[in-house]
Amino acid sequence: MEVTLNWYLMLSALLFVIGVLGVLFRRNVIVILMSVELMLNAVNLTLVALAQNMGDPAGQILVFFVIAVAAAEAAVGLAIIIAIFRNRLTVDVTEINLFKY
Amino acid sequence: MAAQILFFLLATVAIAAGLGMLLSKSPVSSALWLILNLFCIAGLYLTLNAEFIAVVQILVYAGAIMVLFLFVIMLLNLDALPDVNNIEWKRVFGFTLGMGVLALLWFAVASSLDILPYKISAGRAAEVGSATSLGEVLFTQYAMPLEVIGILLLAATIGAVMIAKRKPV
């Protein structure tokens, strides 16, 4: 029987959906950032599965770069959260409405 | 066969940990569930013969990024910290047993439908995932993006320090 990628792709789609639900339904900013990390991981899993299936190292190089950008994103995002918390004393996204109007 | 069972176990625990992150009330337990999820994804990379990416995943994600998250959660003092002294072994045992049974059921269903995942190891794939082959490509063909990523990380570090710095009043 031939190699099947389908299970890896289905698993990463499921993890991506869990991440999307976390971004949509959670109110804590930190948990929302963690959900974004989960979505990045789901996409990384897709990239690695496809790269290994095709025998091409370019996909894994891309995963390496995605991990580096995720680290930068987490650092800047958490710094922004700390700066907002210092002013507003909250991490609830429904109360952080500085740019709403 | 062993690789398929391993895949189902890791996938089940990864999905359960994602749901745990989504549903748990305390941000600290959300972070711990996400760490479990990241370890499972690293295990899945190992089943795909991508050793270098698996190690980088554990080092950078579980080691650095999640520690940063936990650090910020504890710095902001949002929630009463969960009591680490009494791990409820009954619940740990129940979680492990439940995930094992779920993985077994999925494995049975998939094998009866004849759609089992096969280990992707067609000879050439094994040498693609190693640090040697990735390093060769990374430092020749993708040397320029590597430098740019270095500058990006430096900029992000400086930016994070500048944003989080207490403003002089």
Cα nearest neighbour of B134 on chain A: A57
Give the ranges where A1-101 is alpha helix by DSSP (H). 6-25, 29-54, 58-88
From B31, B48, B116, residue closest to A34, measured CB to CB: B31
Q: What is the pLDDT of residues B31-69, one digit of tens each?
A: 999 999 999 999 999 888 888 899 999 999 888 999 999
Q: What is the pLDDT of residues A51-92, one digit of tens each?
A: 888 878 888 899 999 999 999 999 999 999 888 888 877 778
Chain B residues with CB inside 8 Å of A31's CB?
21, 27, 30
Closest CA to B148 of A6, A65, A21: A65
SS3 A92: strand
Give the ranges where B48-123 is alpha helix by DSSP (H). 51-56, 66-76, 89-113
Tokens representing B107 are 């494995």
What is residue B88's predicted lDDT score, i.e. its pLDDT?
A: 73
What is residue A3's predicted lDDT score, i.e. its pLDDT?
A: 45
Average of per-residue pLDDT across B7-13: 89
Are A45 and B130 a contacting pair, CB within 8 Å?
no
Q: ipTM of this complex > 0.95?
A: no
Write the CB contacts of A54 (distance below 8 Å, at least 6 apart in sequence): none
From A30, A73, A75, residue closest to B73, measured CB to CB: A30
Tokens representing A50 are 């496809």
- d(CA A101, nearest CA chain B) in Å: 23
Whether B134 and A60 lie within 8 Å, measured CB to CB? yes
Tokens representing B159 are 């930016």
Q: How far is CA B126 from CA A18, B130, B131, in A?
A: 31, 7, 11
**pLDDT-above-90 percentage for chain B:** 31
- The helix or strand, by DSSP H or E, that contains position B124, with its residue range, turns out to be helix B124-128
Q: How far is CA B138 from the centre of its chain?
A: 23
Q: What is the pLDDT of residues B86-104, one digit of tens each?
A: 667 788 788 888 888 888 8
Between residues 58 and 97 of chain A, which touch chain B (CB distance below 8 Å)? 58, 60-61, 63-65, 67-76, 78-83, 85-86, 91
Are B22 and A35 a contacting pair, CB within 8 Å?
yes
Chain A residues with CB inside 8 Å of B19's CB?
18
Confidence tier at B160 by pLDDT (50, 70, 90) = very high
User: How buried is residue A11: exposed, middle or buried, by Cβ count under 10 Å (0-12/13-18/19+)?
Assistant: buried
Q: What is the pLDDT of residues B62-83, one digit of tens each?
A: 889 999 998 888 888 765 555 5
Q: What is the pTM of this model?
A: 0.83
